[in-house]
Amino acid sequence: MMKFAWFSSFVLLAIGCSSGESGLSSDRIDIGSHRLEVRVSGDAQAYPAVVIESGLGATVEEWSRVQELLSQKTQVICYNRAGIGGSQPGAEPRDASTISRELRELLLRLQVDPPFVIVGHSIGGIYVRQFAAEHPDEVCGIILLDPTMEFLKPLSRNRIESQLQERWPQDYGRIESLLNRIHPRMSLMAGQSILELEPYFERVPIEQRQQQREVWLDLVTKRARQIEGMLSVLGRAECQELFASAESMDLVRDKAIDVPLLLLAAGKTGSSSASDNPSDNEAMTSDYFLWANDLRIDRYTSFVNSQANGRFKVVPDAGHNIHRDRPRYVAKAIEKMLDTVAKEIAHTEREVLTD
């Protein structure tokens, strides 16, 4: 369920973003293989620099207000990944390892001194976690905004098909037709997401289950059409990131983070990893919607509790794009993280001097 709903957020992100003008200017930095568009503002003399990783298809414009606010306190680096905005296409596959490598090269070319506080929104959360895993000494804090998470290991196509036939026998023909219409890489995740609905249907009275299944299949069919439209709207880079998302999730699976971590989740029920589109919500029962939101929060909570120094907050009146809905809230949260890590860095430096 969560994975398929995540696709819907990608659609909205790619074609529904408003990019207001800002007073910030962009440069294109040569990282050796290609040029990346980047906005650098502020001064990092007193605090670590903040590095921002956007969600799928999003550009630096989405972060203009947050960047302007943070630039009063420290240096902020916000960039467009390869093939997005003014950035040139980069090497494939566009998975978390490739993107982490390009980000580090960009920071080296910019001569920004570590350690950094890194911020990741949506699928950008996967990328900053990979960066932290590869360069632990260069990261002092992480903030994740309604991030994409790696909850279940992907199943093989044969296993997905056999389980769908077993659990959805009356509807399998319709499901098979649906999955055959979309890109093979995405159909695997969509099929598994349908299987993930089973815990919900176990809560539904037996006499209502088939009706509920039909409601959900109507919704899934609608979202499949959104996916088809999304692939025609998204550029090659975004599509390649999307197709590599399962591999990216596996790269960060079970990797611990030792630095302070804050996860901010969307407070609008169902509007995070599900959808910001009210028309989608009309197809869901209120019981399902509450269950889905509880599941999302439980999964975020479980992830944060597995980290050595993790915290979790739900942001009121914010959808999936928290930084656009509540820019001051996000900026304040990052500033608090900066205060925390700056004290820790100063304390460590004093200990070194006294040894």
Kindly report the pTM of this predicted structure. 0.83
pLDDT at 285: 55
pLDDT at 23: 61
pLDDT at 309: 94
Q: Reply yes or no on whether the pLDDT at 174 is more than 80.
A: yes
Any idea of the CA torsion for 309, 313, 319, 324, to the nearest 10 degrees? Answer: -70
Section 21-40 average pLDDT: 87
Q: Reply yes or no on whether the pLDDT at 291 is more than 50.
A: yes
**Distance separating alpha carbons of residues 157 and 163, to the nearest angstrom:** 10
pLDDT at 44: 78
Q: Reply yes or no on whether the pLDDT at 198 is more than 60.
A: yes
The string of pLDDT tens digits covering residues 335-351 is 999 999 998 877 676 66
Confidence label for 4 from pLDDT (cuts 50, 70 and 90): very low
Q: Reply yes or no on whether the pLDDT at 14 is more than 70.
A: no
Q: Reply yes or no on whether the pLDDT at 231 is more than 70.
A: no
Sign of torsion over alpha carbons 108, 113, 116, 122 = negative
Whether the link from the prior residue into 147 is cis, omega within 30° of 0, is no
Task: Give the residue, 195 or 185, on which the prediction is more confident.
Answer: 195
pLDDT at 38: 97
Section 251-269 average pLDDT: 88
**Distance separating alpha carbons of residues 218 and 212, to the nearest angstrom:** 10
pLDDT at 119: 98
pLDDT at 186: 72
Q: Reply yes or no on whether the pLDDT at 6 is more than 60.
A: no
The string of pLDDT tens digits covering residues 111-168 is 999 999 999 999 999 999 999 999 999 999 999 999 988 765 667 788 888 998 998 8
pLDDT at 248: 78
Query: Percent of the chain, pLDDT > 90?
Result: 45
136: helix, strand or coil: helix
- In DSSP notation, 203-271 reads TS-HHHHHHHHHHHHHHHHHHHHHHHHHHHHS-HHHHHHHHTHHHHHHHHTT----S-EEEEEE-STTT
Task: Give the residue, 224 or 319, on which the prediction is more confident.
Answer: 319
Residue 29 phi, psi dihedral angles, 5° rounding: -100, 130
Least confident of 25-29, 48-52, 232-236, 315-319: 232-236
**Distance separating alpha carbons of residues 124 and 80, to the nearest angstrom:** 11
Section 283-310 average pLDDT: 82
What does the mean pLDDT of the chain come to? 82
